Structure 1
Amino acid sequence: MGSDGPFGPVVNGTQIVFFEYRPNKTAAFSFIALFALATLGHFIYFALRAWFFLPFILGGIAETFGYYGRAWASDSPDELGPFIMQNLLILAAPPFLAATIYMTLGRIITSLGAQRRSWIKPSWITKIYVLIDIGCIVTQLGGSAILASGDPSAISKSKTILLAGLITQIVTLSFFVLNSWHLYSRCKRDMFLVAEKDLRFNWHNHFRAILVVAPVMIVRSIVRTVEFLQGNTGFVASREVFIYVFDAFLMFFIMLVFLIIHPGRLVRDARRI
């Protein structure tokens, strides 16, 4: 087997392209280790009883095995199994991370007693955003599964489904960032809230964490949207560096931010008060 792409099976005399290049095994194993360690760290945080972080941990597990699929694909870039594994899990993992980001805002609002300062009630924030996110997860899983069928018409349909999920996620996250920023601004102006809470814990950092990780998630979704719009032979899809810089690294960065500033600590401290 040659070292140059494209790689993929030949169906009815036509090659179905899985990769334009041979996936880099070293890079894949590096992120397997990083995601595995970050996921283990978040699993340990269950001591805080932050059960709303379960989707986050599932996302970390999906990222870990997704990049294992890429390492496997380095040896077998023409086989369907590793292609499905890496494509499905790496696309489906970010919506799981996003679900916890959405739920985190509701926990912050409740912990600060800032329900009246939000555009949407905390309980509805969780319901609305998570329901939309479930739809995004379904489109990522469904689109990825159809993409591996090899049927040209099915591939075209799968890309439409994937793009719909990615664009929905971009719009949802953008509104979420605006809502978070509005809420943070109002809380900072509330002198009673500042005097009551700042003496005991720094709630500002938890808002700042959300206002960092949510835009990072938007950047990732925009790059993946451009990738699918350009197709397999496009500038983004044909260069492996994009998946590591604008997907793997950004998702690991989000997991790292929440390891350092874990919302479970805020919820615990608020309960003690």
Structure 2
Amino acid sequence: MSSEGPFGPVVNGTQIVFFEYRPSKSAAYAFVALFGLATLAHIVYFFVLRAWFFLPFILGGVAEIFGYYGRAQASDDPSSAGPFIMQNLLILAATPFLAATIYMTLGRIITALSAQRHSWVRPGWITKIYVFIDIGCIATQLGGSAIMASGDPSAMSKSTAILLGGLITQIVALAFFVLNCWHVYSRCKRDPSMVAEKYLLFNWQNHFRAILTVAPVMLVRSIVRTVEFLQGNSGYVASHEVFIYLFDAFLMFFVMAVFIIIHPARLIRDARRL
């Protein structure tokens, strides 16, 4: 089989480029395994810690698994629309699912520590506003991916604009989210609430540090993805497979791993007991 790109179907004499290279099957299956293990760990926590609000996070992990499975299948036939649609749609849609859980986590941590007075936005509204934004991001990225995979040359620019709109919205939302999280964290350190003072043995600060680690990571991922779509299929980012594994697959696995080590449901459960 030829390893020379670009790959994609020819429609009305014009080639629709799916990949500039033949996707690596071994790399794709490696991340299928990694996301599978991480998702399994979160499913265990889901029941053991009764972390029901982590359901979108698990769905994001499942989307990552099947997204990279689609890339593995695309290695055999990079010009086939099915595997391209599968990997493009699921990998793009997975991140908003992961982000939705992170948004909900901050609101619950603030409530658990009785630190509502330190937040710019009420904890209940943090969840509502950001989940609403995330649903919009998921819809734009799913819609844009579906249009891009249709093979219609006239729809390519429209799909790129839709995808960019969702990614830029996600970047702005994440940036404000990081600032608000840092504001609450710094205020809590200067003026700890009654619950936080009782809770020093558990080190509640680690849960803020976890969010302040993973949220910028997701921000970096969205920025790289935005650059990719701005450059187009023939751009430097899209034409080098290392970018999707370094700035998407690895970063999203890192996010899942951080919450395996520091799971917010532990803090929320124990704070309720107090």
TM-score (norm 2): 0.98
C-alpha deviation, 1:59, in angstroms: 0.1
C-alpha deviation, 1:195, in angstroms: 2.7
Name 1:158's counterpart in structure 2: 159
Name 2:92's counterpart in structure 1: 91
Match of 1:195 among 190, 194, 197: 197
Secondary structure of 1:248's partner? helix
Secondary structure of 1:245's partner? helix
Name 2:138's counterpart in structure 1: 137
Q: What is the alpha-carbon distance in structure 2 between the residues aligned to residue 231 and residue 192 of structure 1?
A: 49
Q: What is the alpha-carbon distance in structure 2 between the residues aligned to residue 239 and residue 206 of structure 1?
A: 35
C-alpha deviation, 1:192, in angstroms: 4.9
1:195-251 deviation per Cα after TM superposition (whole angstroms, max 9, x unaligned): 32214x211000000000000000000000000000000000000000000000000
Does structure 1 conserve the Cα–Cα contact (< 8 Å) formed by 2:114 and 2:193? no
Secondary structure of 2:237's partner? coil
Comparing 203-212 with 182-191, which one deviates more in the overlay? 182-191
Q: What is the alpha-carbon distance in structure 2 between the residues aligned to residue 116 and residue 68 of structure 1?
A: 45
Name 2:122's counterpart in structure 1: 121
C-alpha deviation, 1:96, in angstroms: 0.2
Name 2:31's counterpart in structure 1: 31
Structure 1 108/191 Cα, relative in aligned 2: closer, same or farther at 3 Å? closer
C-alpha deviation, 1:191, in angstroms: 4.4
User: How do residues 68-83 of structure 1 correspond to structure 2 at under 5 angstroms?
Assistant: 68-83=69-84
Paired amino acid for 1:126: T
Name 2:54's counterpart in structure 1: 53
Name 2:258's counterpart in structure 1: 257
Task: State yes or no: 1:42 paired with 2:42.
Answer: yes
Name 2:2's counterpart in structure 1: 2
1:86-111 deviation per Cα after TM superposition (whole angstroms, max 9, x unaligned): 00000000000000000000110111
TM-score (norm 1): 0.98
- What is the count of residue pairs matched by the alignment? 272
Does structure 1 conserve the Cα–Cα contact (< 8 Å) formed by 2:115 and 2:193? no
Secondary structure of 2:236's partner? coil
Q: What is the alpha-carbon distance in structure 1 between the residues aligned to residue 154 and residue 179 of structure 2?
A: 38
C-alpha deviation, 1:130, in angstroms: 0.6
Does structure 1 conserve the Cα–Cα contact (< 8 Å) formed by 2:220 and 2:247? yes
Comparing 186-195 with 259-268, which one deviates more in the overlay? 186-195
1:146-181 deviation per Cα after TM superposition (whole angstroms, max 9, x unaligned): 001111221110000000000000000000000000
Does structure 1 conserve the Cα–Cα contact (< 8 Å) formed by 2:148 and 2:160? yes
Structure 1 189/70 Cα, relative in aligned 2: closer, same or farther at 3 Å? same
User: How do residues 173-212 of structure 1 correspond to structure 2 at under 5 angstroms?
Assistant: 173-193=174-194, 194-199=196-201, 201-212=202-213
Q: What is the alpha-carbon distance in structure 2 between the residues aligned to residue 191 and residue 145 of structure 1?
A: 48
Unaligned runs of 5+ in 1: none
Q: What is the alpha-carbon distance in structure 2 between the residues aligned to residue 159 and residue 79 of structure 1?
A: 20
Name 2:113's counterpart in structure 1: 112
Q: What is the alpha-carbon distance in structure 2 between the residues aligned to residue 191 and residue 265 of structure 1?
A: 19
Does structure 1 conserve the Cα–Cα contact (< 8 Å) formed by 2:115 and 2:188? yes
Q: What is the alpha-carbon distance in structure 1 between the residues aligned to residue 40 and residue 184 of structure 2?
A: 32
Name 2:245's counterpart in structure 1: 244
